[in-house]
Amino acid sequence: MEKANHKRSNRTGIEENILAILESTEAKDTRDTNDDRIAFIEAVRAASFIPENGTAPTYKMHEAVFNNLRVGKSLELIMSSYQLLIELNKRFPRVHVSKSSSTDSHELIIFNEDWLPFDLSSETVCSERQAAGGNPIRPLDYSGFTLLIQELDEVVNGTNFQAIDTKYLRNMLLLQYLVNVLEGDLLPRKIVYEETSNWNLLRESLLNMLLGSRRINYKVLMKDCLSFFSGLCKVHAGINNDHGCSENSVTKPSEDCYPALAFALLDAEKSTCVAIQKLLTMIMELDKSKKNADMLGHTTRADGVRTPLMEIIVDALNYERDIVSPFLQNVLQVFSEPIWKLEIIVQYFSKYITKVRTRRSNGPTDDATFDGILKYFSNSINLKNFLKKISTEIVQLLLAHAFQAHLLISSQYIEGDVDSKENVGNSSLVQICKDIICTLKSLSAIDENTEILPIAKEALFAAATILAMNNS
């Protein structure tokens, strides 16, 4: 199933020739050095993409490109090395799926010899290895990934105001690239895993090894991820309060800051947000697969135990129950992947509903789905009791977001993008719309002073519009 060697090697001539471009570069950052590095990037690009049967760059070349992204000082160099790395990932994936012609099954093909941004050797042997270009840069290990997220978190959450510079942008791009690598490694494995239920494929995925690595503190890493994610959202929430400019945002660049950078930071932060969301989603999916493998008895003791990310998120949401706390709002507002968003909210609700149920035994039985929760709330006594636990604002906020996620899933379901209906339950969209209106109505009926939040009003509008559309 796995191939260790392939046609991509044996091109030492080209490698030496291209790496020679970097040989003259000094540690100093003069314009000439910079020119040489950019010339190197362009040469790798030309060698990999332009010929009819372009070949992937060799290990050393790939590593040198990556090091330019890691330590590059000039914006031009950072941007071009990032773009090249992303394009290389796309063109020459290390792991990919091939469909075997005879049977309808997929086959996983892994080029183990290919370069990876992560240093997989557990004990450091990196002192022997030297990066091309003369200056030894240690390969990135898993703890480097944790450090990267920590640094980004410090910038975004304001403990490090001075850092709005190329380094901040570089770190964001680095993170985006690493997530891209993790994704490229995980997705093909998942496709084959779903057919074969071979847990080994996922166990050996980069993401699983990263999360299980002894060099990192998994919980701290997840906490940093969430904090960074929420911080990025805060930056964007800050923007809508003051009219449009980045004047009041946390990442306000100093006046004499490089203008191109200030202009692009907003967009870079947005794509970093997407990358973090992708990372979180991948981890939750991996958790789910692991749980399945657990139940099938495919996991071993070596797999270790780790708290599912979902639990960590729901705990974090629980901990910050105050409506003024931006965390809840930020995460809900920006986390746009609908299936997991809905799942998070459903888990959050059912945590409280389960508590109710343990005291009384007549609780809902299908509380793990959105329509189950709506049915539970349709009983106004249930709803009243529930409001003693969580404020009406939070309930409104969660319901509105859950409804929106449901709306998106159901439109995607019709389009055939998503074949999972498990979180949605069996109710039709029309029924859900009715239930949402009913629940929000009874929320305002329970207490006359209850103010309906704007987002809940919008949910009401959406639900009523869809109902009217279906009736006409």
Q: According to CB under 8 A, which residues from 84 to 143 bind another protein?
A: 86-87, 91
- Residue 171 CB-half CA count within 13 A: 19
104 contacts: CB under 8 Å, gap ≥ 6? none
Write out 347-362 in H/E/C secondary structure.
HHHHHHHHHHHHHCCC
Q: Which is nearer to another protein, 74 or 150 (CB)?
A: 74
Contact status: 244 vs another protein (CB under 8 A): yes
Least distance in Å: CB of 231 to another protein? 17
CB of 59 within 8 A of CB of 72?
no
Tally of CB atoms within 10 A around 243 = 8
Residue of 56, 64, 79, 402 interacting with another protein (CB under 8 A): 79
| 281 part of the interface to another protein, by CB under 8 A | no
Q: Does 214 bind another protein (CB under 8 A)?
A: no
Token pair 């959050």 is at which residue?
348
Contact 239, 251 (CB under 8 A): no
Is residue 247 part of the contact set for another protein (CB under 8 A)? no
Phi, psi of 99 (to 5 degrees): -90, 120
Counting contacts by CB under 8 A, is residue 264 touching another protein?
A: yes
Q: How far is the CB of 375 from another protein (least distance, A)?
A: 20
Residue 211 contacts residue 222 (beta carbons within 8 Å): no
Interaction residues for another protein, span 19-58 (CB under 8 A): 20-21, 23-24, 29, 31, 34-35, 39, 42-43, 45-47, 49-50
Q: Are 94 and 116 in contact (CB under 8 A)?
A: yes
Tell me the angle at which helices 380-389 and 370-378 cross, rounded to the nearest 10 degrees.
110
Specify the residue, 303 or 458, whose C-beta has the smaller distance to another protein: 458
The residue from 265, 331, 394, 432 that contacts another protein (CB under 8 A) is 265
Give the nearest distance from C-beta 74 to another protein in angstroms: 4
Closer CB to another protein, 304 or 454, in the complex: 454
- State the number of binding residues for another protein (CB under 8 A): 89
Q: Any contact of residue 16 with another protein (CB under 8 A)? A: yes
Instruction: Give yes or no for residue 430 binding another protein (CB under 8 A).
Output: no
Minimum separation from the CB atom of position 467 to another protein (A): 9
For the beta carbon of residue 289, count every other beta carbon within 10 angstroms: 23
In which element (H, E) is residue 21 found? helix 12-23
Q: Applying CB under 8 A, does 459 fall inside the site for another protein?
A: yes
For residue 404, state whether it binds another protein (rule: CB under 8 A).
yes
Look up tokens 């031009």; give the residue: 76
Q: Is the dihedral of CA 330, 335, 341, 347 positive or negative?
A: negative
Q: Does 301 bind another protein (CB under 8 A)?
A: no
Judged by beta carbon, residue 67 or residue 404, the one nearer another protein is 404
Site string for another protein, 149-188 (x = CB under 8 A): ----------------xxx-x-------------------
In the numeric block, the tokens 């494929």 are attached to: 201
Spatial CB neighbours of 466, under 8 Å, sequence gap ≥ 6: 407, 429, 430, 433
Helices (H), 105-217: 142-156, 166-196, 199-203, 206-212
Which of 55, 143, 150, 336 is in the footprint of another protein by CB under 8 A?
336
User: What is the maximum span of the chain, computed from C-alpha positions, in angstroms?
Assistant: 80
Report, in Å, the least distance between residue 139 CB and another protein.
23
Does 441 participate in binding another protein (rule CB under 8 A)?
yes
* Among positions 223, 270, 298, 306, the unique one binding another protein when judged by CB under 8 A: 270
224-243 residues near another protein, rule: CB under 8 A: 236, 239-240, 243
- Closest CB to another protein among 207 and 399? 399
